[in-house]
Amino acid sequence: MTRTQDGPISWQDLPIRDDLRGLSPYGAPQLDVPVLLNTNENPYPPPPELIADLRVAVTAAATTLNRYPDRDAVELRKDLAQYLGHGLTGANLWAANGSNEVIQQILQCFAGSGRAALGFEPSYSMHRLISLATGTTWIAEPRESDFSLDPAKAVAAIRRHQPDVVFLTSPNNPTGTAAPMELVEAIVDAAPGIVVIDEAYAEFFRPGTASALTLLPGRPRLIVTRTMSKAFAMAGARVGYLAADPAVIDALLLVRLPYHLSALTQAAARTALAHVDALLGTVDAVKAQRDRIVSELTTLGLPVVPSDANFVAFGVNRESDNGAARRETKAVWQALLDRGVLVRDVGLPGMLRVTAGTPEETGAFLAALTETLL
């Protein structure tokens, strides 16, 4: 189609890379409704004492905004190492603008054109999207019908494809269950390149669940990614980080943009880490609502995926509905929205995902869902 100089065009008319055509931008609906339970945010705002200290820290940082920030966020990385423990130091940590930028830097460094990344789907879709955006070939291997992974099958897939990067999400998003440590070890030991264990929701692990941080010693190609968006209630600050062998961080310096993490962001993150007890005090409250959702949806007869995260994936049809008219996922999503509750349709057939909110928000969701099922 010929277009005039003044005529409107779409992005598809621009000379973008061929491998980006057909893709859609990532993003959850941002709607103004009373109960927002679709993006796995912490429902509790930062406590007043943190807000007061943030005001002081950001004001102090603002006085130096005519200068570039600490290029490598050295002090923040020390604080993050102290928070994680496991014998880590600042040399083992790296921080960026959300864990998605961390993932992007990993792929820019260790993947890219002519290389491949492998993930086990369904899982966090940004692993695939950032892989494609960096020119990396994406290889999807399926999970079992219950969303678990068989270690032998996972190892066989890795040996068959020989990927440069392997992603394993634990707890898995959007399904919620953490990976057993024997599965993590099998994947790490089988992979020929970098293995990324995405632990964005690790603070919500059920008791007895181990972190891949315990596997870091002696495994220089293992990376564990984390975020301050969930348990720390700092989604708006955009702070993600990773723990790895210092050699990994040295390699990432080759691709990170200069001064990528602003002075204000670093100040906010360090202030939050100084209030870690207060911030993580909300985790148990969120986990209680998560377990409440699992219990009450099970009582309703709906299939529920056990969760180690701050969300729950659930089916919209009872097993007893097999002989009756099946509810459509989009119809249930819309019915909940009509009742003022926004959950997430993550593309799993017959399933939705709901974030654990405050007791009042969780109650509103359960009441709306029960009414929808009548």
Per-residue model confidence as pLDDT tens digits over 223-243: 999 999 999 999 999 999 999
Extract the tokens encoding 6: 């003044």
Please state the rounded mean pLDDT for residues 248-259: 97
What's the chain's average pLDDT? 94
Extract the tokens encoding 189: 């030991």
**This prediction's pTM:** 0.93
Q: Does the pLDDT of residue 88 top 60, yes or no?
A: yes
Q: How confident is the model at residue 1 (pLDDT cuts 50, 70, 90)?
A: very low
**Burial bucket for residue 323 (CB in 10 Å: 0-12, 13-18, 19+):** exposed
Quick one: CA torsion of 107, 110, 111, 113, rounded to 10 degrees? 120
Domains of the chain: 26-44+282-373 (3.90.1150.10), 48-275 (3.40.640.10)
pLDDT confidence of residue 218: 95
Per-residue model confidence as pLDDT tens digits over 160-188: 999 999 999 999 999 999 999 999 999 99
**Other CB atoms closer than 10 Å to residue 104's CB: what's the count?**
20
